[in-house]
Structure 1
Amino acid sequence: MLDVRRLYMLKTVAARGSITAAAHSLALTAGAVSQQLAALRSEVGVDLLRPDGRTVALTDAGRVLLEHADRILSAVEEAESAMAAVRGTVGATATLAALPSTVTRIVAPALTALGSRHPQLTVTCSITDRAQLRELALGTVDVVLGQRYHHLPDTTPRGIDVSPLLDDPLLVVTAADRGDDRPVALRELATHPLAVPPPTTECGQAVLQGCQQAGFTPAPRFITADIAAQLTLARSGLATALVPRTAIDPTTPGIRAVPIADHPVQRLLFAATRHTENANPTTTAVVAALRTAAREGHTASP
């Protein structure tokens, strides 16, 4: 009988592209992963992986087995969710991946509320901009607090359930003594010294395409994904920043944050979980706390 853990290792290697990267994500040594995959190869009697430059790739047999592994692993998770639903109680652990821009207004209040309502639950939180939905699909996290910009393609993987939390527009942030509180046309920023995220990030792409839709290609003065740095540059009068409303503390002194008038750049913040027929009480509790925090944080907009 095939070992479910070895099938999961095969799936992880295929997703990560190398045994070393898979071992790192599994908190194992590369030798341990290689040994388990060698045992899986002996069980099926055919090669599953082949060298591909500095990485590895699935053989034809490996792709066939991975298709079955996906169904098997989904069935195992479905069984776990069904048992959790029968128990009807929130579990002891959960993992959450969240965007840095959501920590102050959503993540921190949500985790505080969870600690009060479910003191037995420990939530391990990864704060990152990178590939959260892929980690969710791989099973390394249970809930993702993610984003999707409305004018960019939806890249949600198959088998992921998305629960919308709120629409979060980018605001034009400058020093408090620059201008008034009227909305600013995006095309007006063509002459501003801008502080924007790198174009390799989702927010950077959203800003770039939004500006192009407004009729210009931005030539930023500062490029950084660090929102605290963007706000500091704006406060000092060195740059104009485009920052999500949720990422701005309404009590921050020395800045002016106003809406975009003509070509709004807006992201949907969502909570995502792996799809199961039976709702898991633990992930349901985490998503509910995120939704409440998002709703309450939205009322305290700058």
Structure 2
Amino acid sequence: MLHVDVGGSITAAAQSLALSAGAVSQQLAALRQDVGVDLLRPDGRTVAFTEAGRVLLEHADRILAAMEEAECAVAAVKGTVGATATLAALPSTVARIVAPALTALGSDHPQLTVTCLVTDQAQLRELALGTVDVVLGQRYHHLPETEHRGVEISPLLDDPLLAVTAADGTGERPVALRDLATHHLVMPPPTTECGQAITHACHQAGFAPTTRYVTADIAAQLTLARAGLATALVPRMAIDPDTPGIRTAPIEDHPILRLLFAATRRTETTDPTTAAVVAALSTAARQDHTAPLPPT
């Protein structure tokens, strides 16, 4: 039921559980028969809970939270890192945060196996669904900060977007965002947080960006920039320091920043396993913060 609540539909719940929609429907039908009252009702193209369904969900929520709290308390008493954890992370964080963090975890906690889901859809809802233990997520600073019930947020670092062009031997001088008004840009789709952040910053700088290429694929963005076909605006952490043939420059007048954070389910007792994963991510982010930019 929690998966239906968070996902908004039986199909979404089935996908999050790696089950068929029919299997989830059968389980819900069996639960309805046990309870003796309808738990869901049609709501347009999705479903919504009846009053009875919402009451049952609230009790199930408390039961699951109590079970997780008990597991954390036992783990804390043992004081040892467990055997498994699941991390969801954005592709743009893999090279410079996730990979170093997993390497360190393998050395410090060899008994711990971390399953890493690399996806652009690394959302905090995955924590509520119980499908992941830690989320390495992002929030662009132009967006209002929102409170997420039952989620613990650990900020890692502010990651600036850099202007990326073909290498020209001029070094890494800062650029003014307004100077890019005459550039052809390669942009993420306008439906993405990054695309919205870039558009918002450009409007603040007094111009509408001239978009020649649209892609969320950062490798494609860098390829177009290297070829001299467009200027890309790419998060610093998404750029491999060894990438040849590009010039990177910080934006000095209207910086575009995303906050990278690690998120876990909030519990009264700290879980040593998730704490170890968050600590490794934090160390990797801190160590890379002063790493050199790509050569020009």
TM range (shorter): over 0.9
Query: How far did residue 68 of structure 1 move?
Result: 2.4
- Note if 1:35 corresponds to 2:26: yes
Could you state the TM-score of these two structures normalised by the residue count of structure 1? 0.92
Tell me which residue corresponds to 1:4. Answer: none
Which of 243, 256, 265 is residue 252 of structure 1 equivalent to?
243
5+ unaligned residues in a row in structure 2: which ranges? Answer: none
Distance between the aligned counterparts of 1:218 and 1:237, measured in 2? 17
- Note if 1:146 corresponds to 2:134: no
Conserved? CA contact 1:174–1:240, under 8 Å: yes
Q: SS of 1:221's equivalent? A: strand
Tell me which residue corresponds to 1:56. Answer: 47
Q: SS of 1:158's equivalent? A: coil
Distance between the aligned counterparts of 1:157 and 1:217, measured in 2? 33
Q: SS of 2:126's equivalent? A: helix
Conserved? CA contact 2:122–2:137, under 8 Å: no
Conserved? CA contact 2:166–2:228, under 8 Å: yes
- The amino acid of 1:23's aligned partner reads A
Which of 245, 264, 279 is residue 270 of structure 2 equivalent to?
279
Alignment of 1:140-219 (within 5 A): 140-177=131-168, 180-219=171-210
Structure 1 vs Structure 2: percent identity of aligned residues? Answer: 78
- Note if 1:71 corresponds to 2:62: yes
Query: How far did residue 131 of structure 1 move?
Result: 4.6
Tell me which residue corresponds to 1:7. Answer: none
Q: Deviations over 1:103-124 (max 9, x none)?
A: 1000011111111111111111
- Note if 1:13 corresponds to 2:11: no
Alignment of 1:237-248 (within 5 A): 237-248=228-239
- The amino acid of 1:274's aligned partner reads R
Q: Deviations over 1:269-296 (max 9, x none)?
A: 1111010010001101100110111111
Query: How far did residue 203 of structure 1 move?
Result: 0.9
In terms of mean alpha carbon deviation, does 262-271 or 146-155 score higher? 146-155
Query: How far did residue 156 of structure 1 move?
Result: 4.7
Distance between the aligned counterparts of 1:11 and 1:254, measured in 2? 49
Query: How far did residue 14 of structure 1 move?
Result: 2.1
Aligned length in residues = 293
Query: How far did residue 183 of structure 1 move?
Result: 1.0
Query: How far did residue 179 of structure 1 move?
Result: 5.2
Query: How far did residue 137 of structure 1 move?
Result: 2.0
- Note if 1:225 corresponds to 2:216: yes
Tell me which residue corresponds to 2:106. Answer: 115
Conserved? CA contact 1:174–1:257, under 8 Å: yes
- The amino acid of 1:60's aligned partner reads E
Tell me which residue corresponds to 1:132. Answer: 123
Distance between the aligned counterparts of 2:38 and 2:218, measured in 1? 47
Q: SS of 2:160's equivalent? A: strand
Q: Deviations over 1:76-108 (max 9, x none)?
A: 111111111111111111100101111100001
Query: How far did residue 162 of structure 1 move?
Result: 0.7
Structure 2 CA distance for partners of 1:21 and 1:100, relative to 1, 3 Å: same
Distance between the aligned counterparts of 2:206 and 2:60, measured in 1? 48
Query: How far did residue 212 of structure 1 move?
Result: 1.0
Q: Deviations over 1:175-196 (max 9, x none)?
A: 1117553211111111100011
Structure 1 segments, 4+ long, off by >6 Å, are none
Query: How far did residue 34 of structure 1 move?
Result: 2.3
Q: Deviations over 1:197-222 (max 9, x none)?
A: 11111111111111111111213111
Q: Deviations over 1:18-68 (max 9, x none)?
A: 323322321233333223222322332210011234332211221222222
Q: Deviations over 1:212-246 (max 9, x none)?
A: 11111213111111111111111110000101111
Conserved? CA contact 2:88–2:122, under 8 Å: no
5+ unaligned residues in a row in structure 1: which ranges? Answer: 1-9
